[in-house]
Structure 1
Amino acid sequence: MSATIRPLRRADRDAWARLWTGYLDFYETSLPQDVYEATFSRLIDPDMADMHGLIAEQAGRPTGLVHYLYHRHCWRVEDVCYLQDLFVDPEVRGSGLGRALIEAVYKAADDHGTPSVYWMTQEFNYRGRILYDQVATRTPFIKYQR
């Protein structure tokens, strides 16, 4: 089934919340409602040039999302792109939608003059990592967090 991938719109709020909740559930976390509101507002704000969200639709139904942001980097003149959240409804996984969302971020980054796109995932995300190994290069970095 073909998909349309497009920027988030205000009217997508409920569908976006459903998909993002699925993403957060997968990573065994939850966030308060004010974070949902702030995040969605940032993602659809045309004046927020560093933060973006795309939604995938199949037969008019939202079935996936991706959030990405641009930031400066001390080792590059140009920005880099961090693909922060990627989620595809479980019933359509394996359809190529995850790849299409990643490629949409690659295109947006290229159009922005940002050749480097990176993301992180949990070690236990085995199914996602099969795709990631096909579309990107795994690095040896280990994440530390306060």
Structure 2
Amino acid sequence: MTVRKIEPGDEADWQRLWKAYLDYYEKDFPQAHADRLFHSLMKGEPYFVFVAEEGGAVIGFVHGLPHPSTWSETGYCYLEDLYVDVDARGSGAGRALINAVYEEAKRRGLSRVYWHTDKGNETARKLYDKVATLSDFVHYRMD
């Protein structure tokens, strides 16, 4: 398995995985949203994107969003989306994608990588508990 930056030729695989990711969270966006998002991600700013590939097939992706912070001179990185194909779970792809974000954040001089997940996402949380520290902060939002 390899982890690399996303390329234009990955669009069909990314679209397939993005749809599965949205299905997991029971979200539905118009296809035009996914098309615009992919083309925005390809610009490489403000997001950066890595994919995990095995046997020539893209099996996962991660989106990182670097941003300034009033609590850091160098800024933070929000790991916004991480998804690994159901059939590839347990392969190390999730950990490798998270490590790619850590390395990119380090390369950019960012002082923290953080993310959120659904409290019921037990499969992912087993991995997250191994690679990061669970924060005591409570997440609020206004839609």
Give the shorter-chain TM-score range.
Answer: over 0.9
- TM-score, scaled to structure 1: 0.93
Q: Structure 2: any 5+ residue segments left out of the alignment?
A: none
Other-structure match for 2:31: 33
Amino acid in the other structure paired with 1:81: C
Amino acid in the other structure paired with 2:66: Y
Alignment of 1:1-146 (within 5 A): 3-46=1-44, 48=45, 50-146=46-142
- 1:115 deviates by 2.5
- Could you say what secondary structure the match of 1:110 adopts? helix
CA–CA separation in structure 1 for the residues paired with 2:132 and 2:12:
31
Q: Which moved more, 1:6-15 or 1:26-35?
A: 26-35
Aligned residues: CA RMSD: 1.0
- 1:31 deviates by 1.3
Amino acid in the other structure paired with 1:125: N
- TM-score, scaled to structure 2: 0.95
Q: Structure 1: any 5+ residue segments left out of the alignment?
A: none
- Could you say what secondary structure the match of 1:30 adopts? coil
Amino acid in the other structure paired with 1:89: D
Identity of aligned pairs, percent?
42
CA–CA separation in structure 2 for the residues paired with 1:133 and 1:28:
24
CA–CA separation in structure 2 for the residues paired with 1:33 and 1:83:
23
CA–CA separation in structure 2 for the residues paired with 1:98 and 1:9:
19
Q: More strand per residue: 1 or 2?
A: 2
- 1:34 deviates by 2.4
- Could you say what secondary structure the match of 1:134 adopts? helix
- 1:95 deviates by 1.2
